[in-house]
Amino acid sequence: MFLTRHSSYVKYSLICLLELIAIIALLQARSAQAYTAYKDGGPYGSIGRWAGQSATYSLTDSFKYSGSGWSSTGTGAASDWTNSAAPFSYYLNQNDINDILDAGPFFNNTALAEAYNHYTGNYLDGLHIKVNTGNGYAFYDGTQPGGNPVPDNYYDLRTILRHEFGHTLGLCHSYTNTLMDAYVDLKQVRGIDQDAIDGTKYIYTSTTTSPSGPCDLWDGND
């Protein structure tokens, strides 16, 4: 469930795969779904779902003061989910133990951020999102100059947090240049797209058909 930077090799491979998927989709179906998800997961290798359709979260001090725009970016990413057509909402509660962290450097991988879910039985009841601020990545928080919409050499923090919030509600990875794609490029901006909405509806309302594949969280490059 890591959101990682692209390598050029991986990017090329993804493009080839996308072309293949597009051709198959044209031949077989007009509305192929790409999300992967589990409705009822175990504590490892799959995600599961919350008993309800919302979760609360807090922003740690380290996160809030990591940059002048981090606080509004964090709450903004959560609000993007709440205000979307996806049937899941996030609410800020600064007393909550579900938190969003500036984690400093990750020691074991080069991911931009990670999401951790907590379970009781098959249901989710806790979340943590950690941003990797110690490996030299520059995160655009909406305040740095030169954005159009994101300045050169920056990763869009709000996009990354939207992705991690997607994991914490139960979405696995997609590989179709959607929000839940395991990879993101510099300057890339992704909103709560139809793939993410369809996946969330599958988990929480069963109004979409099954995912296109098994829950993928541990891609070889993430």
Q: How far apart are CA 24 and CA 71, in angstroms?
A: 42
If the CB atoms of residues 3 and 169 are measured against Zn ion, the closer one turns out to be 3
Task: Check whether the bond before 149 is cis (ω within 30° of 0).
Answer: yes
If the CB atoms of residues 55 and 215 are measured against Zn ion, the closer one turns out to be 215
The least CB distance from residue 199 to Zn ion, in Å, is 13
Instruction: Report the half-sphere exposure of 144 (CA within 13 A, side-chain side).
Output: 20
The least CB distance from residue 2 to Zn ion, in Å, is 6
Task: Please identify the residue of the shown chain whose CB is closest to the bound Zn ion.
Answer: 1
Q: How far apart are CA 169 and CA 183, in angstroms?
A: 19
If the CB atoms of residues 115 and 150 are measured against Zn ion, the closer one turns out to be 115
Alpha-helix runs per DSSP H in 88-193: 157-169
Q: How far apart are CA 65 and CA 101, in angstroms?
A: 11
The least CB distance from residue 138 to Zn ion, in Å, is 20
Give the binding site for Zn ion (CB under 5 A): 1, 3
If the CB atoms of residues 64 and 78 are measured against Zn ion, the closer one turns out to be 78
Tally of CB atoms within 10 A around 191: 11
The least CB distance from residue 113 to Zn ion, in Å, is 8
